């Protein structure tokens, strides 16, 4: 499968200082979505290793729900809340289903475009996943390559990734993929 990919960008030192100080580094403050901080300290002790990552994702899902800032565009204000659910198949492939709410309190509907800032048309994406050196790496033609560090404390999951791409940096929910 030919694929471009997403890439992990935050160094551990930035992430630790971010978690400790409560102040987001400049890269996080410029993100296209509201970047949430972890509710628990991120450390090597709670970062998932290769085997733990495989157990978490193979045959499962990771859901990311993110909001944009309320921003002015000329005389209009815009806001969105997007939910991406990545379903990871055992064979190393994944698909991503995107839904969006464009008004606070409104219904979620299929995304007309996804993978911002590229604005790829459609609400579904496909690609390949693999585990590399303690990171979950995703590759797709639409989105490119990105690698994510995943931390867990109890049932809480926090994903470290490049916040300016795809808004995956932040809390996530793990689940089981529907049987087909």
89-122 pLDDT, tens digit per residue, is 999 999 988 888 888 788 999 887 655 545 556 6
Do residues 5 and 128 touch, judged by C-beta distance below 8 A?
no
Confidence of residue 1 (pLDDT cuts 50, 70, 90): very low
Q: What pLDDT, in 10s, does the model give residues 2-33?
A: 222 222 222 222 333 333 334 444 444 444 67
Distance CA 3, CA 74 (A): 37
* Total residues found in the chain within this entry: 180
Domain positions in the chain are 4-176
Q: What is the DSSP string of the chain?
A: ---EE------HHHHHHHHHH-PPPHHHHT-SSPPPPPSS---GGGB--HHHHHHHHTTEEEEEEEEPPPEEETTEEE--EEEEEEEE-TTSEEEEEEEEE-STT---EE-SEESTTS-EESSEEEEEEEEETTEEEEEETTTEEEEEEEEEETTEEEEE--TTSTT-SEEEEEEEPPP-
Distance CA 5, CA 28 (A): 20
Single pTM value for the model: 0.74
Do residues 169 and 10 touch, judged by C-beta distance below 8 A?
yes
Q: What tokens appear for 68 in the block?
A: 């944009």
* Residue 154 pLDDT > 70: yes
Distance CA 131, CA 123 (A): 25
Beta bridge partners of 179: none
pLDDT of residue 165: 60
Do residues 140 and 5 touch, judged by C-beta distance below 8 A?
yes
């Amino acid at each position: 499968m030919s694929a471009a990919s997403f890439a992990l960008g935050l160094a551990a030192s930035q992430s630790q200082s971010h978690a400790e100080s409560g102040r987001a580094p400049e890269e996080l403050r410029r993100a296209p979505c509201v970047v949430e901080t972890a509710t628990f300290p991120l450390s090597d002790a709670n970062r998932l290793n290769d085997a733990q990552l495989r157990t978490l994702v193979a045959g499962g899902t990771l859901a990311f729900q993110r909001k944009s800032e309320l921003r002015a565009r000329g005389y209009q204000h815009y806001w969105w809340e997007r939910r991406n659910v990545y379903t990871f198949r055992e064979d190393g492939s994944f698909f991503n289903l995107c839904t969006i709410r464009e008004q606070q309190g409104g219904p979620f509907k299929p995304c007309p475009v996804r993978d911002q800032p590229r604005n790829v048309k459609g609400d579904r994406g496909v690609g390949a996943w693999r585990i590399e050196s303690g990171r979950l790496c995703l590759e797709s033609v639409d989105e490119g390559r990105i690698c994510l560090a995943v931390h867990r404390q109890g049932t809480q999951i926090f994903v470290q990734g490049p916040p300016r791409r795809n808004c995956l940096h932040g809390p996530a929910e793990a689940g089981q993929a529907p049987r087909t």
